[in-house]
């Protein structure tokens, strides 16, 4: 609730105006049956002149004009406010998500987050917009209509309202059932979605085992069950509506019988009777709306709570309080002391260490290579340096200061990082490399392009740097994407630390060698940490770590590791054979 | 009420309603047309009941509450006095008349009293005089009750029938779409994100359901009602009807104009929402890059700009509706005013009864209700239409194999004949033109032989397996089973002969038994046990709390990755196929499980023809023949011993691995 309070406060005048107009509309609406009643009474007695009727007609049109004006105002004010709330909360959510750590995104599904960003925010908008309108409307119109009816005849009002508690009571019972069956339908829908997803993900197995028919039968069974659950649900939803109509029509029967008798015996004028019928018609909507409104508002509340929960998530990686020790200029000396790391787990289950007791030390301007079999912890180690994750034990120091004592933005701006999976945004090539930073000159950009061996590729694209790469860079090949990620990092010339996670995995050998050449030239002035499965990419490093199962299996220079034998030497020779055959 | 079934990508904008889409929906509706006819019939009945209610009130007013003068009362006409006539056929009625001689005018067997003068009688006297009126109103109230109850019952039945038919139509559509997609080539699935396809089968079909129901409600219920009201009004008084309907052209013009504005507003809003979703999802996926490059601020600024555009589009939509709704209300008030003014005049003249006037007012209110609801339906329809378009777009996709119609179809492919030889004859293949993945592959494999394919990552080994399963078609060359081109055969007939074991074991969320039966649905208990035994699974499966009925779930902890490998081997065993196609798993398992995997593999390929992609030279060594692939070509082949003798690539790899 405290999430939307500020919005209500900020828009209080708008909301107040809207509510006033809404109330005005309701009262003016109730005046129309009064005019009709007067006309009918005059007509019953047949003592009316045409000009009088024209006055009545004029009144009705005049009332309608004012109703229209007020209605326009409340729609703009109240529903407009809900749009403002929507915009504000969405901005809040977006800004908040951007601050959360990688760990949060590991444990939440993108689909769920998207559902919060779209459905939940929509529910909040509906609840704060139409929800509030319908609620006010129902209450004001309902009570006012009843009030007017009482002024006409108390006894008849009481009689007519007999079905009203039945409607409320019935809706109550039904909504409980509704809720439960709705959940069942949702579950069934989720089951259907999951089954279809699995069959499509495993399409190769399905086809290889010629089980298309079996798959189809399975989906058919679950789809039928979904239909069945849906029919159970609609049995409730679809009886709710006719039931409300039935009860309101029952009111009509009572008016006709009791009101008709009262009119005949002269207690009620025919005009009263007609007005009564009109008011009863007006009551139907508030009675029907109540069920809908409570549903809408409840849904909005649940959505609000879900959004609130996300906003209460705190990023795990924060700037530590005592961040004073970090030096003015980062020179890039890097060391790890007995670093252990375990990926945070969502279910509290203890996971195995991705890294245990890893130590190394490199001076500013030196290069560290990291190799090891898949799953040995190479990428994990690299991700700890810019604090995508925090160490679980031990510490990493930059220029002798624990990285957790560096201001986070300074730490990260000291780092140029190339991730294992290049991530591209859907904008242009230029946007993906420069992030539209106006301070980056063309010369600097082209230097980065050349170093990433991207210059000719960009030139060959029809719109060059302005080519739109599409969602996650669909129009580009894997190698092109990787080189864009490289250029993006190379452009950060001022960053003293260059971290590369398997930077040439998707380019051919020749291009790879050229890129390694660029990296070597850069390594003269910067500290470089390079992870690779190709030994040729790390052999020039001052120091090479061989990881295995999260531990340092060996370390040293290329020559020392070759002499030592083991994984490094074996892999090196194997790749040498492969490369010699490629050359042949 | 509209349900939301998760967000979906909006890659295309909903075009205005397209009658073609309706026509395409018809074949799905056809099987349920009886239900459809029934529901329409019930809708017609409902419309009559709806229309009858104000009419009953009209009769009550005209006949009993404010009785109309009959023609014999001509004397009273025009003097501004409504007479009330009673027949003097009961002693108590006569007594009342005799008690007030100055009020009544007795003529023959009848007495007439001005309607207003009734007030001067005591209530008991009025009740006595108007006994028939009272019982008449009671009868009509009873009739109204019956109509109301019937309305309730029929309404419910009609809705249930409509729901049933609608749900079944959607079920059929869903199955049709699923089967269609399932039949498309593997290439199609490599290009399309699975999530998007799933959304089509689930959410989009659900959205179309709204189309189905709202179209029925709109066309049949609302339209019938409008037509019915018009007819009834014309029947009551055509003059007043025509005068009242002078507002109709305005209503029509306003609605049409609004429809155009609303469509633009909806479309704009839809585009903005799609862009917001795209930006959200991109930010979530690329969060690491955004944070590492300190892009949060600019990214947020871009997002707020977009979000504000969405707000403005929303406000434009609000404006459109905020103008439309009051305009329609105003027009409805003008209609009401017309009835009061013109109709009231007719009542005074005596050409219209009071009850008719009241009925007119009720009917006009009924008339404007569906028009006001049009906006909401419009929204639903737009949404549903967009979904329908996406669904039919997929159904139109005939992305089969690259050669959809083989030159010489081979319907009786192999026809029970055992598979004795598999040949690849100069096979070349590329995923993208100009980037060959396989070139000139030539190999032959006889019954019972094992061929191991080795080579560095990216040399085309897995692609070769996929060609053998007809997941893709070779660009050049042929693959022959017993000398017959599998390209001419039904892909299923080819796959019947094979069993695939993939690199990452893909198992379904189902029990172990069901996963094994996936290989062979006819497998009995004994067969299952035997398969588990030879796939080295029997022992550890027995130790699971639910044994063979243990349900494997995604990321479930009950079964380790090594055990999943064993199960995928067991599944292939259960299939008992003639040709085993195996892509050896590379993921690391502990040495004990590794031994079991090797043993299970041994059992699987013993006595069967097998092609295996070997990532470990130890696996390759046991094969009858080894083909060494490099950059899409076979650079060496032969037995282990022969390849060692050659002292080529294999020899050097082998030396290194020792």
Give the model confidence (pLDDT) of B137-184 as tens digits: 889 999 999 999 999 999 889 888 988 998 999 999 999 999 999 888
Q: In chain B, helix, strand, coil percent, each to 5?
A: 65, 10, 25
Residue of chain B minimizing CA distance to A261: B134
Using pLDDT thresholds of 50, 70 and 90, give the confidence band for residue B400. low
Is A194 in Cβ contact with B326 (below 8 Å)?
no
Indicate if the pLDDT at residue A36 is higher than 50: yes
Find the distance separating the first CA and the last CA of chain B, reported in whole Å: 70
| B422 phi-psi bin (left φ>0, alpha ψ -120 to 50, beta other) | beta
| Contact present, B101 and B122 (Cβ < 8 Å) | no
> What is the number of alpha carbons within 13 Å of residue A416 lying toward its C-beta?
24
Residue of chain B minimizing CA distance to A569: B656
Residues of B in contact with A417 (CB under 8 A): 292-293
Residues of B in contact with A193 (CB under 8 A): 198, 202
Q: Measured between alpha carbons, how far is B418 from B423 in angstroms, rounded to an integer?
A: 15
| Contact present, A309 and A301 (Cβ < 8 Å) | no
**DSSP 8-state secondary structure symbol assigned to residue A91:** H
Is A327 a member of any domain? no
Highest mean pLDDT among A368-372, A422-426, B1-5, B646-650: A368-372
Residues A170 and A33 in one domain: no
Indicate if the pLDDT at residue B381 is higher than 50: yes
* Nearest by CB: A216 against B182, B341, B581: B182
Bridge pairing between strands B579-583 and B609-613: parallel
Q: Which of B268, B292, B502 to probe by mutation at the A interface, max A CB count within 10 Å?
A: B292
Residues A197 and A298 in one domain: no
Residue of chain B minimizing CA distance to A54: B341
Is A215 a member of any domain? yes
pLDDT at B510: 85
Residue of chain A minimizing CA distance to B505: A205
ipTM: 0.83
Residues of B in contact with A219 (CB under 8 A): 174-175, 178
Highest mean pLDDT among A112-116, B116-120, B375-379, B531-535: B531-535
Q: What is the CATH number of the domain that holds A507?
A: 3.40.50.300
Q: What is the CATH number of the domain that holds A48?
A: 1.20.1560.10
Q: Measured between alpha carbons, how far is B295 from B114 in angstroms, rounded to an integer?
A: 88
CB contacts < 8 Å between A and B, how many? 413
Q: Which of A86, A202, A203 to probe by mutation at the B interface, max B CB count within 10 Å?
A: A203
pLDDT at B7: 32
Q: Which of A200, A529, A573 to probe by mutation at the B interface, max B CB count within 10 Å?
A: A200
Indicate if the pLDDT at residue A1 is higher than 90: no
Residues of B in contact with A426 (CB under 8 A): 278, 282
Residue among B163, B249, B268 at smallest CA distance from B212: B163
Is A201 in Cβ contact with B326 (below 8 Å)?
no
If one counts the domains in chain A, the total is: 3
CA of A287, closest CA in chain B: separation in Å? Answer: 16
Residues A144 and A231 in one domain: no
Helix and strand element counts for chain B (H, E): 25, 13
> What is the number of alpha carbons within 13 Å of residue B75 lying toward its C-beta?
10
DSSP A125-176: HHIIIIIHHHHHHHHHHHHHHHHHHHHH-HHHHHHHTTHHHHHHHHHHHHHH
Bridge pairing between strands B83-87 and B110-114: antiparallel
> Residue A134: which domain range?
1-153+289-314
Mean pLDDT across chain A? 85
Q: Which tokens is B395 given?
A: 């159904």
Q: Which residues contact B39 (CB under 8 A, 6 or more apart)?
A: B158, B161, B162, B165, B216, B220
**In this predicted model, which residue has the larger pLDDT, A171 or A559?**
A559
Is A219 in Cβ contact with B178 (below 8 Å)?
yes
pLDDT at B286: 86
pLDDT at A345: 60
pLDDT at B591: 67
Residues of B in contact with A241 (CB under 8 A): 155, 159
Longest dimension (CA), chain A: 121
Share of chain A above pLDDT 90, in %: 26
Residues A237 and A106 in one domain: no
Is A128 a member of any domain? yes
Residues A413 and A550 in one domain: yes
Indicate if the pLDDT at residue A348 is higher than 50: no
Q: Measured between alpha carbons, how far is B448 from B609 in angstroms, rounded to an integer?
A: 4
What are the tens digits of pLDDT across the range B68-78?
655 444 444 44
* Nearest by CB: B194 against A35, A64, A200: A200
Residue of chain B minimizing CA distance to A95: B300
Using pLDDT thresholds of 50, 70 and 90, give the confidence band for residue B3. very low
> Tokens 């598999």 correspond to what residue?
B422
What are the tens digits of pLDDT across the range B242-256?
988 888 899 888 888
Residues A139 and A251 in one domain: no
Indicate if the pLDDT at residue A583 is higher than 80: no
Residues A130 and A234 in one domain: no
CA of A294, closest CA in chain B: separation in Å? Answer: 13
**Mean pLDDT score, B265-277:** 83
What are the tens digits of pLDDT across the range B45-70?
988 998 898 888 888 888 888 876 55
Query: Which residues make up the CATH 3.40.50.300 domain(s) of chain B?
Result: 419-497+579-591+609-658, 506-576
Lowest mean pLDDT among A39-43, A310-314, A527-531: A39-43
Residues A366 and A495 in one domain: yes
Residue among B229, B262, B227, B245 at smallest CA distance from B374: B262
Q: Which residues contact B41 (CB under 8 A, 6 or more apart)?
A: none
Bridge pairing between strands B476-481 and A401-402: unpaired
Q: Which residues contact B422 (CB under 8 A, 6 or more apart)?
A: B444, B445, B468, B479, B480, B481, B579, B609, B611
| Contact present, A528 and A332 (Cβ < 8 Å) | no
Is A187 a member of any domain? yes
SS3 B173: helix
Residues A390 and A466 in one domain: yes
Residues A436 and A564 in one domain: yes
Residues A438 and A357 in one domain: yes
B419-497+579-591+609-658 maps to which CATH number?
3.40.50.300
Q: Which fold has domain B506-576?
A: Rossmann fold (3.40.50)
Is B144 in Cβ contact with A252 (below 8 Å)?
yes
Residues A409 and A360 in one domain: yes
Q: Measured between alpha carbons, how far is A402 from A28 in angstroms, rounded to an integer?
A: 71
pTM (two decimals): 0.76
């Amino acid at each position: 609730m405290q999430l939307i309070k500020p919005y209500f406060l900020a828009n209080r005048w708008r909301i107040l105006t809207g509510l006033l107009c809404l109330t005005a509309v309701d009262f003016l609406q109730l005046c129309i049956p009064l005019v009709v009643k007067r006309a009918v009474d005059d007509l019953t007695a047949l003592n009316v002149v045409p000009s009088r009727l024209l006055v009545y007609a004029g009144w009705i049109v005049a009332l309608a004009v004012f109703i229209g004006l007020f209605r326009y105002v409340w729609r703009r004010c109240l529903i407009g406010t809900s749009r403002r709330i929507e915009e504000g909360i969405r901005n809040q959510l977006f800004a908040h998500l951007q601050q959360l750590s990688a760990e949060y995104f590991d444990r939440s599904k993108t689909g769920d987050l998207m559902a919060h960003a779209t459905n939940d925010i929509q529910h909040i908008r509906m609840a704060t917009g139409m929800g509030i309108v319908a609620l006010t409307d129902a209450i004001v119109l309902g009570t006012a209509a009843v009030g007017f009816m009482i002024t006409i005849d108390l006894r008849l009002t009481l009689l007519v309202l007999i079905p009203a508690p039945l409607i409320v009571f019935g809706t109550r019972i039904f909504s409980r059932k509704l809720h439960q069956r709705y959940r069942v339908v949702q579950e069934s829908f989720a089951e259907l979605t999951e089954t279809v997803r699995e069959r499509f993900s495993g399409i190769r197995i399905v086809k290889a085992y010629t089980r298309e028919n079996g798959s189809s039968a399975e989906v058919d069974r679950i789809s039928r069950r979904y239909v069945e659950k849906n029919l159970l649900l609609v049995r409730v939803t679809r009886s709710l509506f006719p039931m409300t109509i039935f009860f309101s029509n029952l009111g009509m029967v009572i008016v006709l019988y009791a009101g008709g008798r009262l009119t005949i015996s002269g207690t009620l004028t025919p005009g009263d009777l007609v007005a009564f019928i009109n008011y009863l018609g007006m009551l139907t909507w508030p009675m029907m709306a109540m069920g809908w409104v409570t549903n809408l508002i409840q849904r909005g509340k649940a959505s609000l709570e879900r959004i609130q929960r996300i906003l209460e998530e705190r990023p795990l990686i924060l700037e530590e309080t005592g961040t004073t020790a970090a030096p003015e200029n980062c020179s890039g000396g890097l060391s790890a002391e007995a670093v252990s790391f375990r990926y945070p787990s969502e279910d509290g289950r203890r996971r195995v260490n991705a890294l245990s007791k890893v130590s190394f030390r490199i001076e500013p301007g030196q290069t560290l290579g990291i190799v090891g079999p898949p799953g040995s912890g190479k990428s994990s180690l690299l991700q700890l340096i810019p604090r995508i994750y925090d160490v679980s034990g031990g510490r990493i120091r930059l220029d002798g200061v624990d990285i957790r004592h560096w201001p986070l933005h300074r730490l990260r701006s000291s780092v140029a990082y190339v991730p294992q999976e290049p991530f591209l945004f859907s904008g242009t090539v230029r946007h993906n490399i420069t992030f539209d930073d106006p301070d980056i000159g063309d010369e600097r950009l082209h230097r980065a392009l050349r170093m990433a061996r991207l210059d000719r590729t960009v030139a060959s694209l029809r719109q060059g740097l302005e080519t739109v790469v599409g969602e996650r860079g669909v129009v580009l090949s894997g190698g092109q994407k990787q080189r864009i990620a490289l250029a993006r990092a190379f452009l950060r010339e001022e960053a003293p630390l260059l971290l590369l996670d398997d930077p040439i995995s998707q380019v051919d050998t020749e291009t790879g060698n050229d890129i390694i050449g660029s990296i070597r030239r850069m390594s003269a002035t910067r500290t470089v940490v390079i992870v690779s499965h190709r030994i040729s990419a790390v052999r020039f490093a001052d120091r090479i770590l061989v990881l295995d199962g999260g531990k340092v299996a060996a370390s040293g220079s290329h020559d020392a590791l070759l002499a030592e034998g083991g994984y490094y030497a074996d892999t090196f020779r194997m790749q040498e054979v492969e490369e010699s055959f490629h050359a042949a | 009420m509209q349900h939301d079934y998760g967000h979906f990508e909006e890659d295309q904008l909903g075009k205005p309603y397209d009658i073609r889409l309706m026509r395409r929906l018809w074949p799905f509706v056809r099987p349920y047309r009886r239900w459809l006819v029934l529901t329409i019939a019930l809708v017609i009945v409902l419309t009559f009941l709806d229309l009858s209610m104000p009419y009953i009130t009209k009769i009550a007013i005209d006949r009993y509450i404010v009785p109309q003068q009959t023609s014999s009362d001509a004397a009273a006409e025009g003097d501004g006095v409504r007479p009330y006539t009673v027949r003097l056929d009961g002693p108590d009625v006569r007594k009342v008349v005799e008690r007030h001689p100055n009020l009544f005018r007795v003529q023959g067997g009848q007495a007439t009293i001005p309607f207003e003068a009734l007030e001067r009688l005591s209530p008991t006297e009025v009740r006595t005089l108007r006994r028939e009126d009272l019982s008449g109103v009671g009868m009509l109230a009873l009739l109204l009750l019956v109509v109301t109850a019937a309305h309730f019952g029929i309404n419910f039945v009609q809705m249930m029938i409509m729901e049933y038919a609608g749900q079944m139509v959607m079920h059929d559509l869903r199955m049709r779409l699923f089967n269609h997609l399932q039949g498309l080539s593997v290439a199609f699935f490599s290009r399309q994100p699975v999530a998007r396809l799933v959304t089509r089968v689930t959410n989009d079909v659900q959205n179309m359901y709204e189309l189905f129901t709202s179209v029925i409600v709109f066309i049949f219920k609302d339209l019938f009602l409008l037509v019915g009201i018009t007819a009834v009004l014309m029947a009551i008084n055509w003059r007043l009807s025509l005068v009242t309907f002078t507002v109709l052209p305005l209503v029509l013009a306003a609605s049409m104009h609004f429809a155009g504005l609303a469509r633009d507003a909806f479309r704009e809003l839809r585009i903005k929402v799609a862009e917001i979703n795209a930006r959200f999802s991109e930010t979530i996926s690329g969060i690491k890059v955004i944070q590492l490059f300190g892009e949060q601020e600019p990214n947020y600024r871009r997002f707020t700009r977009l979000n504000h555009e969405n707000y403005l589009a929303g406000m434009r939509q609000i404006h459109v509706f905020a103008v439309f709704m009051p305009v329609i209300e105003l027009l409805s008030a003008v209609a009401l005013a017309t009835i009061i003014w013109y109709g009231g005049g007719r009542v005074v003249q005596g050409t219209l009864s009071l009850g008719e006037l009241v009925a007119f007012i009720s009917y006009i209110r009924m008339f404007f209700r569906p028009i006001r609801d049009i906006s909401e339906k419009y929204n639903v329809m737009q949404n549903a239409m967009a979904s329908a378009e996406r669904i039919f777009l997929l159904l139109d996709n005939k992305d089969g194999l690259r050669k959809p119609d083989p030159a010489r179809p081979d319907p009786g492919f192999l026809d029970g004949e055992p598979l004795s030889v598999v040949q690849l004859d100069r096979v070349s293949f590329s995923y993208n033109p100009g980037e060959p993945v396989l070139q000139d592959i030539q190999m032959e494999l006889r019954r019972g032989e094992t061929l191991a394919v080795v080579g560095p990552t990216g040399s085309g080994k897995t692609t070769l397996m996929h060609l053998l399963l007809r997941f893709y078609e070779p660009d050049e060359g042929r693959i022959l089973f017993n000398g017959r081109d599998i390209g001419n055969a039904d892909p299923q007939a080819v796959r019947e002969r094979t069993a695939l074991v993939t690199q990452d074991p893909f198992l379904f969320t189902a029990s172990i038994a069901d996963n094994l039966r996936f290989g062979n649905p006819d497998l009995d208990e004994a067969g299952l046990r035997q398969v588990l035994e030879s796939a080295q699974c029997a022992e550890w499966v027995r130790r699971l709390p639910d044994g063979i009925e243990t349900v494997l779930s995604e990321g479930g902890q009950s079964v380790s990755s090594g055990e999943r490998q064993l199960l995928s081997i067991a599944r292939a065993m259960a299939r008992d196929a003639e040709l085993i196609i195996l892509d050896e798993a590379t993921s690391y398992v502990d040495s004990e499980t590794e031994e079991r995997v090797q043993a299970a593999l041994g059992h699987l390929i013993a006595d069967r023809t097998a092609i295996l992609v070997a990532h470990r030279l130890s696996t390759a060594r046991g094969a009858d023949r080894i083909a060494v692939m490099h950059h899409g070509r076979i650079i060496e082949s032969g037995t282990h011993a022969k390849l060692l003798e050659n002292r080529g690539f294999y020899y050097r790899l082998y030396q290194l691995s020792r």
